Amino acid sequence: MSARTPLSAIALVSPVQLMIGGIIFLPAIYVFWLSLNQSSFGQAASFVGFANYAKVLGDAYFWKALVNTVIVVAVVVHVELLLGLGMALFFASGVPFRPLLLAIVLAPYAVSEVSAVVMWRFLFEPDVGMMSRLLLSLGLPPIEWAVNPSHGLAMVSLLSIWLHLPFSFIILYAARLSIPSDLYEAAAIDGASPWTSFRRVTLPLLMPALLIAALFRYIFAFRLFSEVWLMTGGGPARSTEVMAVYLYLEAFRYNAFGPAAATGWLLVLASLLLALFYLRRLYKETFARA
C-alpha cells in the first residue's frame, strides 16, 4: 500500500465523500455550535455556553422521552433478535415452499411506516378492530393506545418489530446458512443433543452476526420517529414522546433551536457510544489490512 492516494482514486471517491461530508458531517458539527447558542428563525445567534444542555437536562419531558426511548429500543431490538433467530433456525431446519415463505417474511420490508401505522391502528381500533375483538373474546382487556401511554408505546414497539424483523432475520439466516453442515454431523456423531449442538455450534458461530444485527438495530431503533409521530403524536400530554419526537417538537413547534441542537448532540453521542466497540474493531481491521 502506498502512502499517497492516486489522483484518479480521489476523483472517484469525491462525489460520495462530498455528499456525506457536506450534507451529513458538516451540518452535524454545526449542530454542536448551534447547541452552544441561543437562536431561532430569523434571529441572530448569541453564545450561551452549555446553558442549552442544562435546560434540556432539567426538562422533565426530556427525561420522559429518554426513558421511553430506552424502553422501546430495548424491547424492540431484543424481541426482534429473538424472533429473527428463531425464524432463521426454523428456516434452516427445512420448511415447505421455502422461496415463497421467504418472500412472505420479507414483505413487511416493503411497507412504509405510514402504511404500517394504518394497518396496526386498524387492527387495534377500539371495539371494532380485528385484534381488539379477538382480545375481547378471549376476555382480555383492550389495548387503549390512544389514551394509555404504556399501551401507545407497546403499539409502537409492535409496529417497529413488524417492520424491521425482515432485516434481523436475513442477517441471521445468511449467517446460519454459512455454518458448514459437517459441524452438525460431527456433533451428532459425538452424541450431542439438539440443544447441545445449538449451544456449542450454532450460537458461537452466529455470535458475530447477532452482534452486528444488534448494533445496527440499536442505532436505527434509537432514531425512532415516524412510528411514534403517526401513532400517538407523542401524546396524550407528551407522555409517549421519544428522543427524535422531543427534538422535532423543540425545534419546529417551540422554536427552541438551542435546546433542540443540544438534544441532537446528545443523540449523536449516544449513537457513537453504542457503536464504540464496533468502531474500534473496524478501525483496527481497516488499518490492519493496509
Partner 1 sequence: MPKLLRHLLKLVGVLAIVAWSLVPIGLIAMSSFKADRDIFSTSGTFAFAPTFANYEALWSRWGDFFFGLWNSFLVTLGATVLAVGVSLLAGFAYSRFASKGLQASAFFLIFIRLIPPIVITLPLFPVVNWLGLNDTHFVLIVLYATFFVSLGTVVMRTFIDQIPRELDEAAMMDGASQMQIIAKVILPMAAQGMLAVSVFVIVYAWNEFLFAFIFTTTKAKTAPLVISEMIGAVEGVEWGVLFAASTVQLVPVLAFVILMQKHLVAGLTAGAVKG
Q: How far is Cα 246 from Cα 216, in angstroms, rounded to an integer? A: 22
Give the range of 56-64, 74-82, 143-151, 210-218 binding partner 1 by CB under 8 A: 210-218
- Smallest distance from partner 1 to CB 139, Å: 17
Q: Is 82 in the site for partner 1 (CB under 8 A)?
A: no
54 is an interface residue for partner 1 by CB under 8 A: no
Supply angle C-alpha 177, 183, 186, rounded to 5: 150
* Rounded distance between C-alpha atoms, residue 244 and residue 232, angstroms: 14
- Of 60 and 128, CB closest to partner 1: 128
> Least distance from C-beta 77 to partner 1, angstroms?
15
- Rounded-to-integer distance, Cα 151 and Cα 157, Å: 10
With a CB cutoff of 8 Å and minimum separation 6, the contacts of 263 are 56, 62, 243, 246, 247, 250
Least separation, in Å, of the C-beta of 121 and partner 1?
A: 8
45 binds partner 1 (CB under 8 A): no
Which of 50, 63, 82, 122: binder of partner 1 (CB under 8 A)?
Answer: 122
Phi, psi of 198 (to 5 degrees): -65, -45
Cell 441471521: give the residue.
172
Residue 112 sits in the site that holds partner 1 (CB under 8 A): yes
55 Cβ neighbours under 8 A, 6+ residues apart: 258, 259, 262
Q: Is 55 in the site for partner 1 (CB under 8 A)?
A: no
**How many CB atoms lie under 10 A from the CB of residue 96?**
6
The CB-of-181 to partner 1 minimum distance in angstroms stands at 19
Rule CB under 8 A: is residue 76 a binding residue for partner 1?
A: no
Q: In this chain, which of 105, 135, 146, 210 binds partner 1, going by CB under 8 A?
A: 105
User: Minimal distance in Å, beta carbon 258 to partner 1?
Assistant: 10
- Cα distance between residue 56 and residue 263, in whole Å: 7
Region 154-183 residues binding partner 1, contact defined as CB under 8 A? 162, 167, 170-171, 174
Closer residue to partner 1, CB minimum distance, 189 or 289: 289
Instruction: Tell whether residue 115 is a contact of partner 1 (CB under 8 A).
Output: yes
In the bound state with partner 1, the residue whose beta carbon lies nearer, of 54 and 103, is 103
247 binds partner 1 (CB under 8 A): yes
Instruction: State the Cα–Cα distance between residues 131 and 124, nearest whole angstrom.
Output: 5
Count of residues that bind partner 1 according to CB under 8 A: 96
| Rounded distance between C-alpha atoms, residue 240 and residue 238, angstroms | 6
Q: To the nearest whole angstrom, how small is the minimum distance from the Cβ of residue 282 to partner 1? A: 6
What is d(CA 266, CA 69) in angstroms, rounded to the nearest whole number? Answer: 13
